[in-house]
Amino acid sequence: MPRLGPGVPLVGRRAELALLRAALDRADSGAAGCVLLAGDAGVGKTRLIGELREHAEQRGALVLSGGCIDIAEDSLPYLPFADALLPLARSDDPAVRAVVQAYPALRRLLPQQDDGGKGAVEHEMRRGLFSAQDLGQLQLFEAVLGALGELSRERPVVLVIEDLHWADSSTRDLLSFLLPRLREQRLLIVASYRADDVHRRHPLRRLTAEFARLPAVQRVDLAPLEDADALQFVHQLAEQPLTDEVAAGIVERAEGNPFFMEELTASCLECEGVPAALADVLLSRVERLSQRAQQVVRILSVAERGARHQALAEVTGLSDDELDAALREAVQHNILVVDDDNHYAFRHALLREAVYEDLLPGERIRTHAAYAQRLVQKVQQGNPAKYRLLAYHSLESNDLPTALSASVAAADEAEARGAPASALRSVE
């Protein structure tokens, strides 16, 4: 997903890169280990791994990389390991070829150079015709562990598995076999995954908790960039000099996410909306929810600053049980969060923007009108603080008379509180 390349210097990741390099140092000295690299989509996991790869290769390490892909569970068993080990089958190094030949079970993953159907095993595997049972798990697992150990006798080995949140069950099983058996091999395994995709029922959630208890495993959480680092990053991304105000606006909207910053900077600097490429990425996460959960998320996007359960129940028309189930699903999938005031809100402001902009005009107007109808009842019950919100939702639902009267009432209420600036904003 992220397009950031080596042309843009790595910013704000000095501590995390130092941890990865230290893990490589330990592996090189004969203390094998694994780093679980967790972080939200677009936060920079792939870029950080790229820096480690360059550093490891400069030290003479053998770097093997594979990635999981977002397809049906178990349709491509062991895909990241097959991709990572593929260079072994194609190597011209006699020592590497000797290792492959010493572990015949690897042939079930690797295309053989000397058989009549070159690449046939890989081809059949990618078509999903091999099940985990067909591969003979134990023999295969021991072959992978043995081969990595043998290769590490000559030089340190770094095995990278990316996007572990999409891993099939066979890949997870193989990783579960390898990690407890990391001993004195000169081997470092780096496995990355999207923390925001690993919801409560995700199979990787329990597994990573078990992995973290192993002595050879270290988890590194990649947080969003701090504001100072984010500002530096945005200025380096821009093809033309940016004013501090524009750069600060991008940083505020991106909330420290490098991919968000890249898309916002590369599109229209003065644009109020969400760039199309970024919106596609954000909306794809919402589209994984059930239809009812998507409905609730779309309705919540109109609330702008979030809403409580009762407000959502009245606007959606769902029963408490139906709404609870939808909200629980959205929270578990890291789309929504619950703040200290029991408001449901979007985890990222840009995600709310993307969902809101994706609403059809009629859908948007009807939802604003539903919120406005509820707020009319609130102000009639003696809650003048709701006039400003009533004015906003009435205006967006094209109810201009109600919007005007509510704006005047909001200004009067602000004036009574001794807030002339708020009063002025209410009638602007």
CATH number of the domain located at residue range(s) 285-427 in this protein = 1.10.10
Sheet holding 217-222, edge to edge: 62-67, 157-162, 187-194, 33-39, 217-222
Q: How confident is the model at residue 241 (pLDDT cuts 50, 70, 90)?
A: confident
Would you identify the CATH topology of the domain 14-222? Rossmann fold (3.40.50)
316 neighbors 299 (Cβ within 8 angstroms): yes
CA distance linking residue 355 with residue 350, whole number of Å = 9
- What is the reported pTM? 0.80
Q: What is the CA radius of gyration of the chain?
A: 27
Torsion of Cα atoms, 46 then 51 then 54 then 58, to 10°: -150
pLDDT at 127 over 50: no
pLDDT at 248 over 60: yes
pLDDT in tens, 302-348: 997 899 999 999 999 999 999 999 999 999 999 999 988 889 999 99
Query: Rounded to a whole number, what is the largest CA-CA distance in the chain?
Result: 88
pLDDT in tens, 91-114: 999 999 999 999 999 988 876 544
